[in-house]
Structure 1
């Protein structure tokens, strides 16, 4: 006899007890209740943003046994798994691509659990439930982005299409120091990074790493200026509001590493990272002064320093950026799941994804071979 589940949608993460959500979701910082709540309380998602919370829970015998961060989307911004071409083709064919359902952590190109439950049967119920919601609401489909590999296998059996893209990650091979990491690079790359770090650190001030109680409101005032400058150039308008940073100062400062370049105590550049149990995640960078290689120092080399010092397995430095390859960051597969309500369009996308997956595998193999590490033999 199959288990009886009750599925419920929630217009705010606050409707779901934080203890319950976090018990199901594990310790990835971007699917914690406190992170998603900070996005909603700050107005970074919600009315007027194109990200309308519609979080899904599964109950069994009156107890919540599964959950998923779910949003109704009216655009494709802030997702980092790009479907703009799909949207254009869908609309050229006379369809309405938006709204669509997005199971994701908004504005966050970081892999992690999306189907929050230890039970595969509950995860299947979440996948089926999202399809049903899309059908009832007239959404074009469902997209589960930056999901875990085990969720991909379940999604395929449920009728979702798997997609593979790639990012650049740094992997800690038990290094005792940054120099130990450099020793594994080719001589030319090793010398280039040492020269790059020396030039960056000669900007005329100090570089500080701040986390926990060392973070103060003035640091967020400075970083907000950096973020606005970078966000306006990248996206036209920053995704996050100023209030978001106040909320993470209150609820997530132990999960944050803020790397600042300061001159005479005044920040001139900074990089924001989040800290997980086995990784550090680079998210945002900005500056008010331009200095050679300072971006690479704050975003990539300082993150590696921190990971080595704290025994973290990897650094995930965000979306895109082949310049990361020369600095020891190697290509890694990123997974997502997609289901489209219109069967003919679903078949067309499936054919495209088959070709893309083959090309992506070849690209990852080629980029790995081009990496800066010394070749054996």
Structure 2
């Protein structure tokens, strides 16, 4: 075994089959997904996301990898360190640029140290420290790592920051009513009322898999996606070209759910999925319809998981309202390496106190579980 390490600024320089062989079939880590972000202009250029992916080669063949970006801001991360940046600025220090391992705009737990072998993981983490030192970066951050990557980060002494998200589990339900039957009476009644109101309003929902999505449906989805950002006085991160490209390169992983009123499309939700998990990603509507968000983003997706025997539905960041719709809290984490010794101590103390609050919050959520009998 002869390991060498490289940094590449473009996924186009990486063999797609070799990269995908390291990801365990995770579509949001796939070469197609990360490449689409780059070639569509959603990352790179002036976006503040500069690709700097780490590759470990074993006699010329890809044996390990780490999706890496040099960031000049903290947008699109879902682990918030704006206060850290402000503290640096108040003390006359530069927080940006920083080094980040994450899937851009995607708060999903998955591998970050691809390859799995401990010697490769150790080599990559040592290289991250060397890059920090050589480029005089303030910090390095690994967001939403899976357990295997987290173990390696723990062993390397990185600072752990705790979080919580919501996930729905398909317990081999035969249909949506079987799922409702495990909920408490009031939660079951509320969901049925919400769905009945949608039906009574004349809304019709349609689920379309990637290969069957028409150019017109993609264009309508993007209008909805863009409108969500405009309503929050923001600009969309992802370009139309990004969605067009993933529609061509990974249709087997895409589910688009559309809502129609009087045969006119009014809302859309886009999901990414594979054999075990569906990831709720993007949603938008051109006009407000009560309860339509819940129908399109949760109930339709849950029905799809039941029909396709998909075990998990990841609801993404935030949203306590997911709890009442059968989602359960689950822990997430991120890991951080801070170059400045004094700030490293201050941030470590902050993270410790924050973790106590996350634990208390999670306990509260579990006490509010919507099930008739809590699952084991």
Q: RMSD value over aligned CA atoms?
A: 1.5
2:143 aligned residue: 145
8 Å contact from structure 1 (residues 206, 261) kept in 2:
yes
Find the partner of 1:239 among 231, 237, 241: 237
| 2:290 match: secondary structure | coil
Q: CA deviation at 1:376?
A: 6.1
Whether the aligned pair in 2 keeps the contact of 1:26 and 1:32 (CA below 8 Å) is no
Paired residues for 1:24-39 under 5 Å: 24-39=22-37
Deviation, 1:252, is: 1.5
1:316: how far off?
0.8
User: TM-score scaled by structure 1?
Assistant: 0.96
> Is contact 1:211-1:253 (8 Å) kept?
yes
2:198 to 194, 200, 211: 200
How far residue 362 of structure 1 moved from its aligned partner, in angstroms, is 1.8
Give distance in 2, aligned partners of 1:64 and 1:91.
40
Distance 2:6 2:200 in 1: 56
1:210-265 deviation digits (Å, cap 9, x = unpaired):
01321111111100110111022346110001111110111112111100002354
Residues 121-140 of structure 1: CA distance to partner in whole angstroms, max 9, x if unpaired? 11121111112111111111
Report Cα offsets for 1:14-55 as digits up to 9, x if no partner.
111101110112211111000000101100000110001000
1:317 aligned onto 2:315: yes
Number of positions where the alignment pairs a residue of Structure 1 with one of Structure 2: 375
For 1:126-175, what per-residue CA distance to the aligned partner results, in whole angstroms no more than 9, with x for missing partners?
Answer: 11111211111111111010110221121122121111101111111221
Alignment of structure 1 residues 79-118 onto 2, 5 Å: 79-118=77-116
**Match of residue 166 from structure 2:** 168
In the alignment, what sits opposite 2:348?
Answer: 350
The equivalent residue for 1:120 is 118
Change in CA separation of 1:41 and 1:203 when aligned onto 2, cut-off 3 Å: farther
Matched, 1:218 2:221: no
1:178, distance to aligned residue in structure 2 (A): 1.0
The equivalent of 2:228 in structure 1 is: 230
Q: CA deviation at 1:108?
A: 0.5
Deviations 1:299-326 (A, max 9, x none): 0111111111111111111110111111
Q: Distance in 2 between matches of 1:243 and 1:207?
A: 26
| Alignment CA distance shift 1:38-1:306 (3 Å) | same
Q: Which residue of 2 aligns with 1:326?
A: 324
TM-score (ref. length: structure 2): 0.96
Tell me the distance in 1 between the aligned counterparts of 2:374 and 2:107: 33
**CA contact under 8 A between 1:149 and 1:335: conserved in structure 2?**
no
Runs of 4+ in structure 1 displaced over 6 angstroms?
none
2:134 corresponds to 1:136: yes
